[in-house]
Each structure stands twice: as C-alpha cells, then as structure tokens.
Amino acid sequence: MKLVHTSDLHLGIYLFSLSLLPFQQKLARVITDCAESENADCIIISGDVYNTKDPSGESVKAFDGFIKELFSAKRHIPVIIISGNHDYAPRLSVHSSLLESCGLHIRGTLSDYLRPVEKGDAQIYCLPFFTVSEVKAIAAAENSEDEIKIESQTDAFRYLTDRIKENWNNSKKHIIAAHCFAVGGITSDSEKATKSALSARLAGGAQLTDASLFADFDYAALGHLHSAQTIDSGGKAVVRYSGTPLPYSFSEGNEYSNGFPPKIREKSLSVFDTDTRVLKAVPVENILSLKTVSGSLEEITAMAADTRENEYVRLIFTDRATAAGLSDTISSLYPNKLVADCRPQSLGGARDSVTAEQVKGMSAEELAERFITEYHKREFTDEMRKWISDAVTANERDDR
C-alpha cells in the first residue's frame, strides 16, 4: 500500500498581517495531484487541521472546500484525519460515523483507537492528540481489577501501542497516525508549543514521547512538529514528521545574504510505500515562499531584483543607514515585505558580559554606554554622555 502523509495545515493562521488562508486553499489540489500521480491508496493528515480550537467561519468553509477537493480525484482515495492539539475534537469530527461510509475517516478522540482503518494489506491505527488523564481513564475502564501506572506521555503511548499490538492482525502491515512530540524531534519558530515543549524537556520530558514505542509499526505518520524529519525508532518503523505543507515562519523559508550561498528550504508531502519501504518527499511548489534577505542597505537594494512575485520577504539590515523616504523606497523594491529588522554588525570586539552584582555597582552613565555599544552597536558619543548626565541631575532634583 502507498500513502500520502501531511499534517499541521493550521487553516486560518496569519503571518504578521498576512492571512495564509488563500494559499492554504490551494493545498488540497496539490495533495490530490500527488496522490493521483503516485497512485496512492490513501491520504493521512496527522492533526492540527485548524490553527485554533475556535476557527473562523472562513476557515471552516475553507476546510469544507478542502475536503471536497480531496475527493475530486479520478480514483476513490480514502482520507484519514486525526485531531491535533490546536483542534477542538468534537467540532472536527462532527458526522464522522456517517462520513466513514464515504471514505472520510475523522478520528477526533481515542474512542476508536483499537479500530483500525483497513486498506489493502494495511491496518491504519489512529491516535489523535490526547492528555495523560484521558489514557488513565481508558486504562482504568479496560483494567478494572488492575491498577496501571501512567504518569507521562510515554507511559500513555506505551499503554495504547501495547494494546494495539495485542489486537492487530499479524499478517497485515501496520501504520499509526499520531500527533505528538517524539524525542529527537526538531522544532521551528512557527510552533506555538515550542516553549512548553522545551520546558517539558527540562521538567524530565513528561510531555515527550519515546520514538521506540513505534518501532514495531511499519510507518508512523506523525504530526505536531513543523519541519519534515525522520526520527530513529531503533526498530523497523519509519517514524516520519511530514512537516507543514507551507512555511508558517521565516525560519522555515529561504535565506539570502550578500556574499553567502542561499539556504534553500523546501516544503513537501511524504509518500511511503509499505511494500518497498521507500519514503520520498514530494516538494510543494509555487504556492507560498518566504524569504529572508540580509545585508547593508546597498546590498539589500541590489538583491531586490532576485525576488519572485510569490515570495514574501523579511529584511534584516546589518547597517544603520537612514535616509528621507527610505521606507517608501524599500516598499517599492519589496512590495511583499512583511517585516524589517535592524541587526547592526558590532563596532568592535565583543566585551565580556557583566554580572548582576557588577550592574549594581555601575553608574547610570556606565550602564547607558554598555547598552548603546553592545545592544544597539552604536558609538557612545559625548552628546549622549551629556544627555545621561543631565537626566541624572534632573532626577536628583525631583523625588518623582
């Protein structure tokens, strides 16, 4: 069996002031074309269909059109969708029982975790996003006489995957779709859960999942992390994050800096064949491209000619050049500019950082000089020195 795997659509997400919904509406055709050209037997979307648990009417309408497009293929290709941490499972899985007869399998909760979607020679098990307490409740109901210790996400996944393996058909291939943070995964800037995930690492990894729990499966179609990557399971399983099909932060886009080769990052769909065990990434092209351009004002001006029409741009200026009408000039050169930052290069060698105790003993003038020279990378002039002196004197005269 061959499958097309994607995840984390985040319908309705914004990048700065830009709504990405018009670009996301084009994704269904790309996914359908990929499934047809690859002669795929099913499509798996591993969670985070929406960007919020309370999606806008436009986002819900876009999802409706998305599903309609997925079922417009010449062949009947079943679609399997699980909920992610950004989805409200009851809303996502409304009418799911009825829709299964049409080939649309939406699994929002764990109620059917032991009931696989059967396709060809494969059983596809679905583990939508869940909490440890939910699995504790399931374990208590299934083992009324025995207490099962479940304290972490790994414990929860171990319980669920062990139960699945006890019940599966050994003569079949086995695929699991899950929405989780597997140990060894790499995050990107567009993941709102990045900080909590990193905190989880520091807290002992309670919210992380051991990838070895998927080792006995043939393929683990994971969602949650936005960069396409394959995780080592220590077994036969191909554990794969498809990543988002579109870039949702500039850290996922291309980077151009004058004098350096560009860093090109492609978004893709993952295609896996259970017979040959071949995994390949099919690029998603010509929908949305994000680009970071860094350099001096002169260098950034010169690189404007290399920007394509569908590229949205972040500019990083490495000098402090200013001029009347500069903003209008840059906007005319980069009409798709979303944000501009100024990160000047250092005026000289970096000084040693100061401790909190040292700061307490520094004068206002010394603090200002360190701030201006190290943070803003500017020279601390005599005029600035006078401003600080005057401000301190005025403050001493006024208790306020």
Instruction: Compute CA 181 distance to the chain's CA centroid, rounded to the nearest angstrom.
Output: 11
Q: What is the pTM of this model?
A: 0.82
Distance between CA atoms of residues 180 and 156, nearest Å: 11
| Residue 176 maps to a domain | yes
CA distances to 140, 148, 156, 159, 260 from 137, in Å: 5, 10, 11, 12, 55
Q: Give the H or E element holding residue 2.
A: strand 2-6
pLDDT per residue, tens digit, the chain (400 aa), is 999 999 999 999 999 999 999 999 999 999 999 999 999 999 999 999 999 999 999 999 999 999 999 998 888 999 999 999 999 999 999 999 999 999 999 999 999 999 999 998 999 999 999 999 999 999 999 987 677 889 999 999 999 999 999 999 999 999 999 999 999 898 888 875 444 444 444 333 458 999 999 999 999 999 999 999 999 999 999 999 999 999 999 999 999 887 788 898 899 999 999 999 999 999 998 899 999 999 888 889 888 887 777 789 999 988 866 666 678 888 889 999 999 888 776 544 445 566 666 777 788 888 888 888 876 667 889 898 989 888 888 877 765 5
Task: Assess whether 322 and 381 both reside in one domain.
Answer: no
Give the total number of structural domains in the chain: 3
Task: Assess whether 241 and 320 both reside in one domain.
Answer: no
Task: Assess whether 138 and 44 both reside in one domain.
Answer: yes
Task: Assess whether 259 and 326 both reside in one domain.
Answer: no
Task: Assess whether 128 and 158 both reside in one domain.
Answer: yes
Provide the pLDDT for residue 365. Answer: 87
| Residue 323 maps to a domain | yes
| Residue 253 maps to a domain | yes
Task: Assess whether 149 and 270 both reside in one domain.
Answer: yes
Token duo for residue 216: 């006995």
Distance between CA atoms of residues 175 and 274, nearest Å: 9
Task: Assess whether 179 and 304 both reside in one domain.
Answer: no
Provide the pLDDT for residue 392. Answer: 84
Task: Assess whether 314 and 215 both reside in one domain.
Answer: no
Task: Assess whether 248 and 113 both reside in one domain.
Answer: yes
Task: Assess whether 334 and 372 both reside in one domain.
Answer: no
| Residue 347 maps to a domain | no
Task: Assess whether 337 and 389 both reside in one domain.
Answer: no
Provide the pLDDT for residue 349. Answer: 46
Provide the pLDDT for residue 131. Answer: 94
Distance between CA atoms of residues 26 and 85, nearest Å: 24
| Residue 169 maps to a domain | yes
Distance between CA atoms of residues 374 and 358, nearest Å: 16
> At 92, which amino acid appears?
L
Supply the CATH number for residue 121's domain: 3.60.21.10
| Residue 380 maps to a domain | yes
Domain that holds residue 322: 290-342
Torsion-angle region of 14 (φ positive above 0: left; ψ -120 to 50: alpha; else: beta): beta
Task: Assess whether 281 and 383 both reside in one domain.
Answer: no
Beta-sheet pairing, 229-231 with 238-241:
antiparallel
Lay out the sheet containing 268-273: strands in order across: 104-107, 79-82, 42-46, 2-6, 268-273, 279-283
Beta-sheet pairing, 2-6 with 268-273:
antiparallel
| Residue 348 maps to a domain | no
